A = this chain, B = another copy of it.
Amino acid sequence: MKDKVNLAEKIKLLNKPYQPGVVGYLNNYKLIVVKVHGEFVWHKHDETDDFFLVLRGHLTIQLRDRDIELDKGELYVVPKGIEHCPKADAEAYVLVIEPKDTINTGNAGGTLTVDPVEI
């Protein structure tokens, strides 16, 4: 990494919800910022945990047996293999960390499946 990353400035470069923006790497992990608004899609990652840290707003990570409610400065790691579905009624900003080859929609596929952009 050549220079520091200001997360708030990077997130401004994203123009739609659920478009992941890669701001850097930690070994073979990608550091992603994303605007969350509305409901994503139920999915799981059988090969990896999934890290979420809320930078602004409120994020709900729906699990099959409960909801995880995250405000700014709160994080949750979804264990590998566990179905989850993020949602936010108002736009939230989130830092996500997962291996480089992780697909955003996991096993679900569908129209929300996108490659991250480098920002």
Contact = CB atoms under 8 A, between A and B. Distances in A.
Interface in A82-105: 95, 97, 99
Given A3-B76, A8-B73, 16 more contacts: A1-B77, A1-B78, A1-B79, A4-B69, A4-B75, A4-B76, A6-B74, A7-B74, A23-B75, A25-B77, A27-B48, A27-B99, A31-B51, A31-B75, A31-B77, A55-B73
For the side of the interface on A, what is the size category? Answer: 20 to 34
User: How would you classify the secondary structure of chain A's contact residues: helix, strand, loop or mixed?
Assistant: strand
B79 A6 contact: no
B4 A74 contact: yes
A64 to B, nearest CB: 15
